[in-house]
Amino acid sequence: MSAAEGPLVVGVDSSTQSTKALVVDAATGRVVASGQAPHTVSSGAGRESDPRQWWDALRTALRQCGEAAHEAAAVSVAGQQHGLVTLDADGEPVRPALLWNDVRSAPQARRLVEELGGAKVWADRTGSVPGASFTVTKWAWLAEHEPEAARAVRAVRLPHDYLTERLTGEGTTDRGDASGTGWWASGPESYDEDVLARVGLDPALLPRVVRPGEVAGTVRDSHDLPFSRGTLVAAGTGDNAAAALGLGLRPGVPVMSLGTSGTVYAVSRRRTADPTGTVAGFADARGDWLPLACTLNCTLAVDRVAALLGLDREAVEPGTDVTFLPYLDGERTPNLPHSSGLLYGLRHDTSAGQLLQAAYDGAVHSLLGALDLVLDADADPSAPLLLIGGGARGAAWQRTVRRLSGRPVRIPEAKELVALGAAAQAAGLLTGEDPAAVARRWNTAAGPVLDAVERDEATLARIAGVVSDAGRLLERDGGAR
């Protein structure tokens, strides 16, 4: 390992499928070591993971980083949002974590929205209208369907909180991830005791919300990680807030992230309250806001369609009037938790490549439909759309986003932006800087800009028409969940 110019920091991305760790030079942003280890997610009616797998994966990823991890002065953990982690008195999981894409709590979500007075009341109080992805609805589902497990719970955490607590021994979270629970009031920026009472959750079971820039703790003595004693631990945050840090986002710059889920978001100075529920009014990890819309079906759904067709994911063909809505796991945007994939317009001369292109179109249409709602009125409509996530490197994804958005698209060259954002947060503890400013100093958003092309209004209108006309069919509970 070549000599670093500044202190070393570790940024962790504990995602749905794996944990990644980066050791980064805080002075330059250069990645000096990295590691990665997988997780497993259950299939069937629910989407669950054993949190202890996340810890084992973190240990494996850090061991792969070698001596560089031992030299790190600070660490931060970013993780998948919304997941419900329930712990007993010994800090062990009561049951597997319910993940963000587990939509079994859709009935509880509908009931909670009605009980509190409707969608507008929820948006005004918490910034968001909770759907089946939100933690509050998952707790309500657990209390209803597994009451013995709920009674055994002595601590409730989010995925990144669980790992941070294993590092420090202290129960903490941050405002960014807390804002995705449904029980954090975005006005006073505190837990909403009325919401908690409605779902029977004692606020004493929740972690302390650490302020931006505050140290969450230090790595405790009794651990088996390659960190030196006293290594500083930052608050961490949710994955989208970490990616925003990793890009050094300024207000009004649009981002589309193509991963297991798809997201569009932008940093805003204003607190968002969208009563339609399309935009979640999340907080960011700095003190601003991160209005965001999320889809459940993105790269994995399109890859699944490619596999069913026996095609490489890039083997798309143009010239189709077929519409395919790839809602393979139900959908969040639009809010159709019980929906499934829908194919319309199939003809004798439709090719497999055209079907695959229709899946790309359906996935991107859902994200672009929310983009205008995410952006402030003063955002520059001609600014390049930052395209990130695993799908951003795919030529078919790039062409589809350009054609359906009509905007120029920038592809940041930096990889693992969630882990880089966590690393920037850790670096900020050492330097006193705003983590987004750290990332801008590292020039993480640099990358080629693909010119805008004419927006394909005909395809957008066709897909919107199918979504509208098939509304009752898409809302039907087919008994799969």
Separation of CA 279 from chain center: 14
State the Cα–Cα distance between residues 210 and 387, nearest whole angstrom: 30
Task: Copy the structure tokens of residue 114.
Answer: 């009605």
- Cβ count within 10 A of residue 43: 8
- Contact assessment for residue 394 and residue 400, using Cβ atoms and an 8 Å cutoff: no
**What φ, ψ does residue 317 adopt, rounded to 5°?**
-130, 140
CA gap 106, 434 in Å, rounded: 38
Do residues 265 and 290 make contact, with C-beta atoms less than 8 angstroms apart? yes
Q: Is 422 within 8 Å of 473 (Cβ atoms)?
A: no
Q: Is 278 left (phi over 0), alpha (psi -120 to 50) or beta?
A: alpha
Neighbours of 26 (CB within 10 A): 27
Tokens of 79: 């993780």
Q: Residue 88 and residue 265: Cα distance in Å, rounded?
A: 35
Per-residue HEC secondary structure of 36-92 comes to EEECCCCCCCCCEECHHHHHHHHHHHHHHHCHHHHCCCEEEEEECCCCEEEECCCCC
SS3 (DSSP) at 217: strand
Three-class SS state of 93 = strand
Q: Catalytic one among 161, 239, 329, 361?
A: 239
> Would you call 177 a catalytic residue per the annotation?
no
The packing angle between helices 299-309 and 352-374, to 10°, is 170
Residue 467 burial class via C-beta count within 10 angstroms: exposed 0-12, middle 13-18, buried 19 and up: buried
- Phi-psi map region of 215: left, alpha, beta (phi>0 left; psi -120 to 50 alpha): beta
Would you state the structure tokens that stand for residue 358, as one six-digit string?
Answer: 């229709």
CB-neighbour burial class of residue 378 (10 A; exposed 0-12, middle 13-18, buried 19+): exposed
Which residue stretches of 223-351 are H helix? 239-247, 299-309
Q: Which residues are catalytic?
A: 239
